[in-house]
Structure 1
Amino acid sequence: MKEQTRLTQYSRSGGCGCKISPQVLERILSGNISKTIDLGLWVGNESKDDAAVFGIDADRGVVTSADFFTPIVDDPFYFGRIAAANAISDIYAMGGEPIVAIAILGWPVGELSPDIAAEVIRGGRFACKEAGIALAGGHSIDSIEPFFGLSVTGLVSRKSLKRNNTSEEGCRIYLSKPLGVGVLSTAEKLGLVREEDLDKAKVLMSTLNKVGARFGKLSGVSSMTDVTGFGLIGHLLEMAEGSGLTAQITYSKVPKLDCVEQYIKFGCLPSGARRNYESFRGKVTPDLDDGKMLLCDPQTNGGLLVAVKKNDENEFLAASEEEGVEVFLIGEFVKRSGYAIEVL
Structure 2
Amino acid sequence: MNNEYKLTKFVQAAGCAAKMGPGDLKQTLCNLNNKDEQVLVGFDTSDDAGVFQIDENLALVQTVDFITPVVDDPYVYGQIAAANSLSDIFAMGAEVKTALNIVGFDKTNIAKDALALILKGGNDKIRECGGVLLGGHTIETPEMYYGLSVTGVINPKEIIRNNSAKAGDVLILTKPLGMGILTTAIKRDLIDLNLTKHCAQIMASLNYIASKIMRKYKVSSCTDITGFGLLGHAFECINENISFCISSNEVPFVKEAYDLAKNGVLPGGSKRNIKFMEDKVLYKDGLDDTIKAILCDAQTSGGLLIAMNKDDAKEFVKELEDFSFGYAKIIAEVIPRGKKEIIIS
TM-score by length of structure 1 reads 0.93
Query: Which residue number corresponds to residue 210 of structure 1?
Result: 208
Deviation at 1:314, TM superposition (A): 5.2
SS in 2 for 1:141: strand
Say if 1:74 and 1:324 are closer, same or farther in 2 by CA, change over 3 A: closer
**For residue 166 of structure 1, what is the amino acid of its counterpart?**
S
User: What do the CA deviations read for 1:263-292 (whole angstroms, capped 9, x no partner)?
Assistant: 223321222211111112100012862332
Q: More displaced, 105-114 or 166-175?
A: 105-114
Q: Provide the aligned C-alpha RMSD in A.
A: 1.9
Task: Return the alpha-carbon distance in structure 1 between the equivalents of residues 64 and 109 of structure 2.
Answer: 26
Deviations 1:300-337 (A, max 9, x none): 11000000123543553465358677530101111112
Question: What's 1:338 paired with?
Answer: 339
Indicate the residue corresponding to 2:293 in structure 1.
Answer: 293
Code of the residue aligned with 1:293 in structure 2: it is A
Select 1:276's aligned residue among 273, 276, 281: 273
After superposition, the Cα gap between the structure-2 partners of 1:311 and 1:258, relative to the gap in structure 1 and judged at 3 Å, is closer
Partner of 2:157: helix, strand, or coil?
A: coil
Q: 1:317 to 1:158 in 2, by over 3 A?
A: farther
Partner Cα separation in structure 2 for residue 55 and residue 256 of structure 1: 38
Aligned length: 339
CA separation of 1:15/1:64 partners in 2, compared to 1, >3 Å: closer, same or farther?
Answer: same
Q: Secondary structure at the match of 2:88?
A: helix
In structure 1, how many angstroms separate the alpha carbons of the residues matched to 2:14 and 2:24?
18
Gaps of 5+ in 1: none
Distance 1:295 1:321, change over 3 A: closer
Change (3 A) 1:318 1:58: farther
- On the 8 A contact 2:317/2:329 being kept in 1, the answer is no
- Residue aligning to 1:72: 70
Cα shift at 1:206: 0.1
| In 1, Cα distance between equivalents of 2:295 and 2:313 | 24
Counterpart residue type for residue 214 of structure 1: K
Give 5+ residue unaligned stretches, structure 2: none
Query: Residues 261 and 293 of structure 2 are in contact (CA less than 8 Å); yes or no, is this contact kept in structure 1?
Result: no
Q: 2:103 aligns with which of 102, 105, 110?
A: 105
Compared with structure 1, are the counterparts of its residues 4 and 314 closer, same or farther at alpha carbon in structure 2 (3 Å cutoff)? closer
Partner of 1:81: 79
Residue 262 of structure 2 is matched in structure 1 by: 265
- Give distance in 2, aligned partners of 1:325 and 1:307: 20
Q: Does the CA contact (< 8 Å) of 1:232 and 1:297 recur in 2?
A: yes
> What is the rounded CA distance, in whole Å, between the counterparts of 1:322 and 1:117 in structure 2?
32
State how far apart, in whole Å, the 1-side matches of 2:33 and 2:246 are: 31
Which residue identity does 1:286 align to in structure 2?
Y
CA distance in 2, matches of 1:322, 1:20: 34
Task: Give the letter for the 1:334 counterpart.
Answer: I
CA contact (8 A) 1:220 1:313 kept: no
Q: Is the 8 A contact 1:211 1:325 kept in 2?
A: no
C-alpha separation in 2, matches of 1:31 and 1:157: 30
Partner of 1:141: 139
SS of 2:64's partner is: strand
Structure 1 307/207 Cα, relative in aligned 2: closer, same or farther at 3 Å? same
Q: Distance in 1 between matches of 2:216 and 2:303?
A: 18
Give the secondary structure class of the aligned counterpart of 2:278: helix
Do 1:16 and 1:228's aligned partners in 2 also have CA atoms closer than 8 Å?
yes
| Percent of pairs with identical residues | 37
In 2, Cα distance between equivalents of 1:113 and 1:311: 52
Q: Report the Cα offset of residue 56 of structure 1.
A: 1.3
Are the aligned partners of 1:308 and 1:316 in contact in 2 as well (CA < 8 Å)? no
